[in-house]
Amino acid sequence: MTRRGSIRQGAKGYLLTFPAFAFLAVFFVGPLIVNLLESFKDDEGGITFAQYARALGDAYYLEVLGDTIALSLVVTIASLLLGYPLAIAIARSRGALKSFLIFLVVTPLLINVVVRTFGWMVIFGRSGFLNSILKFLELDTITLTGTWTGIAIAMVQVLLPFMVLSIASTLEGIDGELEDAATTLGATPLKTIIHVIFPLSLQGVITGTVLVFALSIGSFVTVMLMGTNSTMVLPLLVYQQLNLASDWPFAAALGNILIFVVLIATALQLSLSRKGARR
């Protein structure tokens, strides 16, 4: 192919991506711009930084931001620890067993978040399933509703599939002979996972981590239904400002702060990906 032909071919390729870009520009970037403008609007229609000063200059909102990030980190780490072995099992299984495992992992996504959260409330309730078992075993009952622990458990359940599927797809691409070679050279199964499999699956781990973190930091339904005032997260504050206080500028500012945090996390992922690729 001539150089001119190659350029034309490339241009056609870019043109085909235009609908997707146009869609994102209208339905994603557009609302973000509107949101950004709203956050700087004052009562007289002028420009103000007051909403950001209010959010970032108040110890309460900073505490909520910190709690939101901490919850997302805990959910992400827990999903990674629980999801990695599951991803290995899926990557190594074949046929019906593999389909069954994938089905098990994906099932939580098929259930509406409100219904699923009510399910957890039934399990964690004072006279719920969990405490009934503890009572039956003559053990002390525990309180999980209204606690960070209960919320984190419920969130891990729904976000686990994103971690597992991201890692499993990377693990499937790893040459099985590398594992055999490590074993032949005397590595134990644990050492093989730590020194061979894990570094090679890092791309999947990073993708899963960013996905789970981003989804977790933006979710509020579980926190709203299972939490109390002492388990407040930023997205729930946004919801309150929009639906109860009708304070759109402040809601927009809180939403933009949340987006900024996710952008930092994504930038971190890109940086880690580049480092991983260089190795």
Partner 1 sequence: MIHRLSKVFLSSLFASTLMVGPSFADDPLVVVSSGGVWLESAKANFVSCYEERTGEQPEVLTINSSEVINRLRANPDNPPIDVALLSEIDAIRAGEEGLLEKLSVEKVPNLADVPEVFREQWDNYATIQNFGAMIVLYNKEAIPEPPADWKTLIDQTIEGKYGDRVSFPAVTMAWGPMFTWFLTTLYDGDEDMVFEKYKEMLPNVANYWTSPVDAMNMFAAKEIDILVYWDGRAYAFAEENDWAGAYIPDPGAFQSAAMLAKVNNGSEKAWTYIDCVLSPEAQLGHSKMIKYPIVNSKVEYPEELAAVLTPLEAVRQPEFRSFMDKIPNWIERWNKEVR
Residues within the interface to partner 1 (CB under 8 A): 8, 11-12, 15-16, 18-19, 22, 60, 118, 121-122, 125-127, 145-146, 224-225, 228-230, 232, 237, 240-247
Rounded to a whole number of angstroms, the minimum distance from the CB of residue 269 to partner 1 is: 32
Nearest CA-CA partner of 150 in 227, 234, 82, 73: 227
Rounded to a whole number of angstroms, the minimum distance from the CB of residue 13 to partner 1 is: 11
Rounded to a whole number of angstroms, the minimum distance from the CB of residue 223 to partner 1 is: 11
Rounded to a whole number of angstroms, the minimum distance from the CB of residue 96 to partner 1 is: 38
Rounded to a whole number of angstroms, the minimum distance from the CB of residue 71 to partner 1 is: 16
Rounded to a whole number of angstroms, the minimum distance from the CB of residue 216 to partner 1 is: 21
Q: Which is nearer to partner 1, 140 or 175 (CB)?
A: 140
Chain Cα centroid distance, residue 93: 26
Q: Which is nearer to partner 1, 28 or 103 (CB)?
A: 28
Q: By the 8 A CB rule, do 98 and 231 touch?
A: no
Nearest CA-CA partner of 260 in 79, 75, 88, 36: 36
Q: Which is nearer to partner 1, 200 or 242 (CB)?
A: 242
Q: By the 8 A CB rule, do 214 and 265 touch?
A: yes
Rounded to a whole number of angstroms, the minimum distance from the CB of residue 196 to partner 1 is: 47
Q: Which is nearer to partner 1, 22 or 267 (CB)?
A: 22
Q: Which is nearer to partner 1, 56 or 245 (CB)?
A: 245
Q: Which is nearer to partner 1, 50 or 225 (CB)?
A: 225
Q: By the 8 A CB rule, do 78 and 152 touch?
A: yes
Q: Which is nearer to partner 1, 3 or 278 (CB)?
A: 3
Q: Which is nearer to partner 1, 10 or 189 (CB)?
A: 10
Q: By the 8 A CB rule, do 80 and 208 touch?
A: yes
Rounded to a whole number of angstroms, the minimum distance from the CB of residue 218 to partner 1 is: 19
